[in-house]
Amino acid sequence: MPSLKQRAACIGIATSPLSVRRDFMGQLTNSVPVSVRQQVDRLGSKFVHVNCIQVGSDQFTSADFVEIDRAVARTRDLYAAAGRSMGVGRVQHFVISTADARGRDVINSDGEAESLTDEWTVPNDALDLFLVRMYVGSTAGLSRVDGPCDKDAKGMDGSVVEMNAGGGLSDFATAHELGHYLGLSHRNNSTALMNPTIPNGGVITTSEADNMRDHCRMKNPC
């Protein structure tokens, strides 16, 4: 049975000192129940690292932090329950202040979401997930389908998701948009995670999971 420290080292987290909840699980609060044992097991499947980037970070509240934690936990659960299991590995948190965001903390069009990812990135091997508190319009996120892994490549190199504290929808939206980036398109089936309406059944089929597992952002099992 692999140890926590082995798994932490495998996903590139310093093991000394190691905060299990913050570093290994990537949680910002103590509010969302998580299972360390389960996460250790899940890293035995293919997984993707994620950078959670708060845009307009000084306006994020403790309720938003809980929502982010819930989104990460839900995405892990949905990906683990996929037709072929996957994981979310290292989750690290970053911030863009309201001043530095220059108006992009309130996204008013898909073009602005794209601009955000054009201008910012975390130079590591994780998928950039830009979290905004307000995405005006009938949609609540934007991502490329089958996004690139080279962060020096042109074009949208991350996903943008509205983090609506208390709305209880950001978790599905996060899993959905990351699903796009990892290669999935929309489906009409109402139980599918990739159904464009949120919330949905959250199901990822085996063939979808195979598609995601083949994405260049996916890491081999620990």
Distance CA 5, CA 10 (A): 8
Distance CA 9, CA 21 (A): 15
Token digits of residue 214: 């083949």
Q: Are strands 141-143 and 158-162 parallel, antiparallel or unpaired?
A: antiparallel
Distance CA 70, CA 76 (A): 10
- Stretch of residues binding other proteins (CB under 8 A), selected from 32-40, 71-79, 86-94, 207-215: 86-94
Query: 19 phi and psi, to 5 degrees?
Result: -90, 115
Binding mask 97-116 for other proteins (x = CB under 8 A): xxxx-xx-xxxxxxxx-xx-
Q: Which is nearer to other proteins, 1 or 150 (CB)?
A: 150
Q: Interface with other proteins includes 27 (CB under 8 A)?
A: no
Binding mask 43-62 for other proteins (x = CB under 8 A): ----------xx-xx-x---
Q: Interface with other proteins includes 122 (CB under 8 A)?
A: yes
Q: Which is nearer to other proteins, 42 or 133 (CB)?
A: 133
Residue 212 CB contacts under 8 Å (≥ 6 apart), including other chains? 79, 82, 86, 179, 182, 183, 184, 204, 218
Helix (H/G/I), strand (E/B), else coil: 62: helix
Distance CA 86, CA 93 (A): 21
Among 137, 210, 214, 216, interactor with other proteins by CB under 8 A: 137
Q: Interface with other proteins includes 121 (CB under 8 A)?
A: yes
The separation between CA 60 and the C-alpha centre of its own chain, rounded to angstroms, equals 17
Q: Interface with other proteins includes 211 (CB under 8 A)?
A: no
Question: Shortest distance, CB of residue 169 to other proteins, whole angstroms?
Answer: 6
- Scan residues 139-198 and list those touching other proteins (CB under 8 A): 139-145, 150-155, 162, 164, 167, 169, 172-173, 176-177, 180, 185-186, 196-198
Helix (H/G/I), strand (E/B), else coil: 127: strand
Q: Which is nearer to other proteins, 48 or 222 (CB)?
A: 48
Amino acid identity at 67: E
Contacts with other proteins, residue ranges (CB under 8 A) = 28, 53-54, 56-57, 59, 92-100, 102-103, 105-112, 114-115, 118-123, 133-145, 150-155, 162, 164, 167, 169, 172-173, 176-177, 180, 185-186, 196-198
